[in-house]
Chain A
Amino acid sequence: DAGVIQSPRHEVTEMGQEVTLRCKPISGHNSLFWYRQTMMRGLELLIYFNNNVPIDDSGMPEDRFSAKMPNASFSTLKIQPSEPRDSAVYFCASSLEGGFYGYTFGSGTRLTVV
Chain B
Amino acid sequence: DAKTTQPNSMESNEEEPVHLPCNHSTISGTDYIHWYRQLPSQGPEYVIHGLTSNVNNRMASLAIAEDRKSSTLILHRATLRDAAVYYCILSRYNQGGKLIFGQGTELSVKP
Contacts and interface: CB of A to CB of B under 8 A. Distances in A.
Interface of A: 4, 31, 33, 35, 42-45, 48, 50, 55-56, 91, 93, 95, 97-100, 102-108
A45 B101 CA distance: 8
Secondary structure of the B side of the interface? loop
A50 B96 contact: yes
Tell me what chain A mostly uses at the interface: helix, strand, loop, or mixed. Answer: strand
A47 B93 CA distance: 17
A98 B44 CA distance: 17
Give the interface residue-count category, chain B: 20 to 34
A20 B63 CA distance: 42
Interface string B75-111: 0000000000001000101001111111110000000
Interface of B: 32, 36, 42-46, 49, 87, 91, 93, 96-104
Contact of A107 (B42, B91, B96, B99): B42
Contacts of B36: 103
Of B44, B102, B103, the most chain A CB neighbours within 10 A belong to B44
A93 B101 CA distance: 13
Contacts of B103: 42
Contacts of B100: 45
Given A102-B46, A105-B45, A43 B98 contact: no
